[in-house]
Structure 1
Amino acid sequence: MDRGGVTEELLKAAGRMRRVRLGALFPDISQGEFLALEVIYRYTLIQDKGSKICVSDLAKNMKIASSAVSRMLHTLEERGLISREVDRRDRRNTYVFLTEAGRQKHQDAVDTMDDFLKSVVNRMKEEDIRQLIVLWNELADIIDDELDSRTKGERR
């Protein structure tokens, strides 16, 4: 197969993976909302800040604008999945934490995804999955390296 054909097939395969509709597993929560719950959950496990995260830290971790995070948090708060509290010492800071319903929604989503991925993995040979992981990581490293070299003005 010529290199052009391989390139086209790689792009098609990547496109198929991007279009996978994992959101269908979670009809009542968007991918962004789940990511917010996940970041809040993980941040509060790792950091020694009790059970809350500053909105600006959440935005930074999610790599989106604070205004977009605020809109999403409004929706999550209306649904009872998170609560917000203003910092008593510095009213410019707002902290976010998962409610019991938010912790349950997060855990349900994690359990659903774990079950789904186990089913997917069980349909392939373990050696094929392991090889896929190796190749995927190798491809990601090459892509990162190539992007770094091109953004620094180099080209191989």
Structure 2
Amino acid sequence: MKDAFEKLFRAVHQFKKLNVSDLIPGLSSSEFSVMGAILQMGENGKITSSELAAKTKTLPPAVSRTLRGLEEKGYVERSVDKKDRRNTYISLTEKGWKKGEEVRDRMQDFGCSVMSQLKEEDIDQLVAYLDRIYEIAEKEIDTRKRQN
């Protein structure tokens, strides 16, 4: 079983090595990640930098650096909450929304191109296996947390 886990972990981990941001000229992988998180907020969505840090699992100083770069490119803007000036919200500019749509289209095209090279039943089976492994792993983590 130890060997099987190591094989699975290696196979899953190698996807982190894919630099999908190479498909999006002009965006680093951190900018790609932060813009994706903001896009998920919806058209009128605003998010704080601490919420972005939590969502992207990135340290706040790194998110701040990334936001500065995105601001310089004209993709995001910050606004201070008029009711509570301690809160600063980040949102996409019109240029940011256009870039976001471009990113979404390119990623969808990329995903479809990759997945079209596999049989649908193989994809369904793989997804079912990964979902099941995830459920088991989640339960195992919970059990071990309670033991400690």
TM range (shorter): 0.7 to 0.9
For 2:57, the equivalent position in structure 1 comes to 63
Scaled by the length of structure 2, the TM-score of the pair is: 0.86
The residue correspondences of 1:44-55 to structure 2 (distance < 5 A) are 44-45=42-43, 50-55=44-49
Normalized against structure 1, the TM-score is what? 0.82
Q: What is the number of residues matched between the two proteins?
A: 148
Equivalent position SS for 1:43: coil
Residue type of the partner of 1:36? V
Matched, 1:42 2:44: no
Q: Which has the larger radius of gyration?
A: 1
Moved more, 6-15 or 31-40: 6-15
How far apart, in 1, do the equivalents of 2:139 and 2:124 lie?
23
Q: Provide the aligned C-alpha RMSD in A.
A: 2.0
Pair 1:143-2:141 in alignment: no
Gap regions ≥5 residues in structure 2 = none
Q: Deviations over 1:85-143 (max 9, x none)?
A: 22233221112111111111111111111001101111000000111110111111111
Shift of 1:55: 2.9
Give the secondary-structure state (helix, strand or coil) at the position aligned to 1:97: strand
Q: Which structure 1 residue ranges, 4+ long, deviate > 6 Å from structure 2? A: none
Gapped regions of structure 1 (runs ≥ 5): none
- 1:20 aligns with 18
Q: Are 1:112 and 2:106 an aligned pair? A: yes
Query: What letter corresponds to residue 41 of structure 1 in structure 2?
Result: L
State, as a whole percentage, how many aligned pairs show the same letter.
Answer: 37
Larger displacement relative to structure 2 (102-111 or 13-22): 13-22
Question: Is 2:99 the counterpart of 1:101?
Answer: no
Q: Quick check: 1:30 aligned with 2:24?
A: no
Structure 1 Cα separation of the partners of residues 126 and 111 of structure 2: 14
Could you tell me whether the CA contact under 8 Å between 1:33 and 1:72 is conserved in 2? yes
Cα 1:60–1:20, aligned 2, differ >3 Å: closer, same or farther?
Answer: closer
C-alpha distance in structure 2 between counterparts of 1:18 and 1:74, whole Å = 25
